[in-house]
Amino acid sequence: MPSGQRQVQKQQQKLSPQQLQLMKMLSLPVTELQQLIREELEQNPMLEVNEDNAGQEANENMPETNGDRLTDNNPSNNNYEDEEDNYPDTDDSVHEPRYNIADSSTDICAQRLTDQLRMLSLTDKQMLIGQEIIGSIDTSGYLSRDLPMLINDLAFQEDIDVTLDEANQVLRIIQSFDPPGLAARSLQECLSLQLHRLCQNDNAIDCAIRIVDTYFDYFINHRYEQLQQKLSTDEKSLKQAIHIIQNLNPKPGSGSSQEMASLYLHPDFVVTFDQNRNCLSLTLTNDNLPPLQMSKFYDRLLDQLNKSNTNSATDHQTIDYLNSKKQSAQQFIDTISQRHQTLYVVASAIIQAQSQYFKSGNREDLKPLLQKDIAQATNYDDSTISRIVNSKNIQTDFGIIPLKECFSTSIQTQSGEEITNHTVQQRIAYIIQTENKRQPLTDDAIARMLANEGYNISRRSVTKYRKLLQIPTGRLRKEL
């Protein structure tokens, strides 16, 4: 061996292709898994949909939680204080959202705008400008690129010359579409577009328009005394105008309705509570996943080629190709089955740990729970639990929630009692709800109040929880 070189033994663990595929599948929500299956069906001729079982639900009867214990049914038998706060929300902002809407709501928003655009008598050039603008509207409903950049893109991609006046003209047309406030370039413009669509013969609305169009800086910084002087109005009229502004939609493209949520948020699990039997039942939402099997046609073809004892190079290549695809198809089917079983075991452990919460729907019933606790209970790796928890939603009797909402760290009170951070957040929300809005509490003041109640919470933690609750800083909560 040459001088300066030495042999070193190292132990390395390499994941098999099936393990890597399983890790990917575990991180996918059911809607993305559907797309992965479609792609695999297109690429692998040895894989096909089992039409005989296509009409049957993938889930029949999953094991139930009887009281606080799971039955021993085998799941494999089933087929399974900060200045960066944005525009202050209305009073509902102290409540955590019960579900999040998937970004696919952007697609239907763009489609609706395109449909409205096509109803107008526009030139081909205006249509191209309009489609470019609509394609640049983000998930919140704002224009994500400025007009000069859009003009440059149209010149480069479509080879058309567009003036700034032409682009502005089409932008104003799109800004007149429903819902009001779309395609705005700032929060101020978004609110102004909505106000100008309201009745103009109302003094409170006229005052609100003046506030947004002329004195917006005073409004967002809650400088109400100076604002009242600038408008030469009384406190009652100012309060009415501010109330109108605060009830506008600062994110007109987000689609916050129950209907949008039901359309685009597909839960990965469903848990229901039977009060008569005092048990919880868990189901995986795999009913939209097609049942897979080996292709009967190509399997017979491979069998015939193997029995033919041919020496043809082409036949040998075909045999090698089909064998490779057969192995890949079987691995894909097995991995999906393993995914279902892993998801079920993990979700069952979470529901068992938080059974009282799933029965009552009251967040005060959440127990302190960490992902490592579920890892220990299921004998799965921490990374496996993380992949499952961070991308899945669960439908309950009280709404659709992210699975990660079931986890919370424990906080010890001065009396030694352990509570969850959700309990602290609810207490912070209540304190802010009941504060004097003329003199809102600082995060430091809230921390002192909590300390007097026995909660060992720092000012920094109060700030973190307040932001999680989407509550603005004290200065921005100030009211007349």
Question: Of 150, 162, 141, whose CA–CA distance to 248 is shortest?
Answer: 141
Question: Which residue is associated with the tokens 């005394």?
Answer: 225
Q: What is the layout of strands, in order, in the sheet containing 64-66?
A: 69-70, 64-66, 279-284, 269-274, 393-396, 399-402
Q: 138 with 253: CB under 8 angstroms?
A: yes
pLDDT for 94: 35
pLDDT for 473: 83
Q: Where are the domains of the chain?
A: 17-77+265-406, 105-246, 410-477
Give the Cβ contact number of residue 315 at 10 Å.
14
Q: How far apart are CA 319 and CA 301, in angstroms?
A: 9
pLDDT for 285: 83
Maximum alpha-carbon separation in the chain: 98
Q: 151 with 167: CB under 8 angstroms?
A: yes
Give the Cβ contact number of residue 201 at 10 Å.
7
Q: 327 with 299: CB under 8 angstroms?
A: no
pLDDT for 145: 85
**Region at 74 (left for phi over 0; alpha for psi -120 to 50; beta for the rest):** beta
Q: Is 187 helix (H, G, I), strand (E, B) or coil?
A: helix
Question: Which residue is associated with the tokens 């096509």?
Answer: 118
Q: 392 with 400: CB under 8 angstroms?
A: no
pLDDT for 102: 37
Q: What is the dihedral of CA 313, 318, 321, 326, to 10 degrees?
A: -140
pLDDT for 341: 92
Cis peptide before 368 (omega within 30 of 0): no
**What CATH number is given for 410-477 in this structure?**
1.10.10.60
Q: How far apart are CA 201 and CA 122, in angstroms?
A: 32
pTM over 0.75: no
Q: 474 with 443: CB under 8 angstroms?
A: yes
Q: How far apart are CA 34 and CA 99, in angstroms?
A: 21
DSSP state of 287: T
Cis peptide before 179 (omega within 30 of 0): yes
Give the Cβ contact number of residue 435 at 10 Å.
16
Q: 385 with 346: CB under 8 angstroms?
A: yes
CA 330 to chain centre: 32
pLDDT for 441: 87
Question: Hey, which residues does 412 pair with through a beta bridge?
Answer: 418
Burial class for 281, CB neighbours closer than 10 Å (0-12, 13-18, 19+):
middle
CB contact set of 387 (below 8 Å; sequence gap of 6+): 23, 26, 27
Q: Is 269 helix (H, G, I), strand (E, B) or coil?
A: strand
Provide the pairing of β-strand 69-70 with 64-66.
antiparallel
Per-residue pLDDT of the chain (480 residues; tens, 9 = 90+): 566 666 666 555 566 777 788 888 888 888 788 888 888 888 888 888 887 765 454 444 444 444 444 443 334 333 334 433 443 343 333 333 333 333 444 556 777 788 888 888 888 888 888 888 888 888 888 888 888 888 888 888 778 888 999 999 999 998 888 888 888 999 999 999 999 888 667 788 889 999 999 988 888 888 888 888 888 888 888 888 888 888 888 888 765 444 444 444 678 889 999 888 889 999 888 767 888 888 888 888 888 888 787 767 777 888 888 888 888 889 999 999 999 999 999 999 999 999 988 998 887 788 888 888 999 999 998 888 988 888 788 888 888 888 888 887 767 777 767 777 777 888 888 888 888 888 888 888 888 888 888 888 888 888 888 888 888 887 778 776
In Å, how far are 1, 2, 4, 10, 13 from 7, measured between CA atoms?
A: 9, 11, 10, 10, 19
pLDDT for 124: 86
